[in-house]
């Protein structure tokens, strides 16, 4: 899986999030207690809502529109598997954040 550099580590401090356009997708990276987790930004429910504007719930993100929750590690939706979404591998090398896509 190719990894693409998207930012410096310091661009996404603990508790923050940042969205990137990558490979025709919008992907948001969350910094949860120092761990970087990436998820497809577009909510699969109506395919428009940006999860970057959602509310963090532990290691999940709640969509700003209807509140469906997506696990940031697995993409699993709490409402039903038909709404499960995609997560991406993230790694840090030489101070850079890379997303696998």
Which residues bind to ligand FES, rule: CB under 6 A?
A: 43, 45-46, 49, 63, 65-66, 68
Taking the least distance from each CB to ligand FES, the nearer of 66 and 73 is 66
What DSSP character marks residue 33? T
Taking the least distance from each CB to ligand FES, the nearer of 48 and 94 is 48
Query: Which residues, in sequence order, are bridge partners of residue 26?
Result: 21
Taking the least distance from each CB to ligand FES, the nearer of 18 and 45 is 45
Q: How would you class 7 by CB atoms within 10 Å of its CB: exposed for 0-12, middle for 13-18, buried for 19 or more?
A: middle
Residue that is written with structure tokens 């990558």 in the block: 22
From the CB of 93, what's the least distance to ligand FES, in Å?
33
């Amino acid at each position: 899986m190719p990894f693409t550099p998207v930012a410096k580590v310091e661009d996404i401090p603990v508790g923050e999030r940042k969205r990137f356009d990558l490979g025709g997708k919008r992907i948001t990276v969350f910094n949860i207690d120092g761990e970087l987790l990436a998820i497809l930004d577009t909510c699969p429910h109506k395919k428009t809502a940006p999860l970057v504007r959602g509310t963090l719930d532990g290691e999940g993100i709640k969509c700003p529109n209807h509140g469906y929750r997506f696990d940031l590690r697995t993409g699993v939706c709490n409402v039903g598997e038909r709404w499960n979404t995609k997560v991406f591998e993230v790694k840090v090398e030489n101070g850079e954040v890379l997303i696998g896509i």
